[in-house]
Amino acid sequence: MATKIAVFVDVQNIYYTTRDAYQKQFNYRKFWQHLSAQGEIVIANAYATERHDAQQQKFQAALKHIGFNVKLKPFIQRSDGSAKGDWDVGITIDVLYAAEHVDLVVLLSGDGDFDLLLKAIKDKHKVNTQVYGVPSLTANSLINACDEFFEIDKSLLQ
């Protein structure tokens, strides 16, 4: 029986960390092929902000074509110039639900806020966890919380 995999992508985090560390973009198609070799991807969510711009819509269509369910949240520009488009709670809720139904939870993010989530699903559901992130921009607490950490390197970039 194939390993059932659920994958969750913090799109903004992956975009900015790969851009800042490598000046390149993450290759979602290569990643999908790599992950598919480990088992059956039964849930694949990519979380992004909606900016109503043609390039973003083209990117989101490409993610859907690969097999991702793209979840969008409005991009909010505050009067002080700061922005909001955080998906942490949405990702957490979806991971908590999925962990009951899969063998492996894969998170693409460097955000240390997810360390408690990974510990909780491992304790409660005995699910395996993997994190993909840029090493220099991934929280040590997140790396330590997962079963396996995979460095986003040249092999997963465009």
Does any domain span residue 24?
yes
- pTM for the whole thing? 0.93
What's the pLDDT at 78?
A: 63
For position 77, what pLDDT does the model report? Answer: 65
| pLDDT above 70: residue 84 | no
pLDDT of residue 74: 80
Grouping H, G, I as helix, E, B as strand and the rest as coil, residue 52 is coil
Residue 124's H or E segment, with its range, is helix 115-125
Give the pLDDT score at 18.
97
Q: Show the domain range for 96.
A: 7-156
Q: Which two tokens stand for residue 56?
A: 């973003």
The per-residue pLDDT for range 105-137, each reduced to its tens digit, is 999 999 999 999 999 999 999 999 999 999 999
Report the CATH number at residue 74: 3.40.50.1010
Q: Please count the structural domains in the chain.
A: 1
Inside any domain, residue 29: yes
At residue 82, does pLDDT exceed 80? no
Instruction: For residue 110, give both structure tokens.
Output: 């460097």
Q: Give a yes or no: residue 127 inside a domain.
A: yes
Kindly state whether residue 1 falls inside one of the protein's structural domains. no
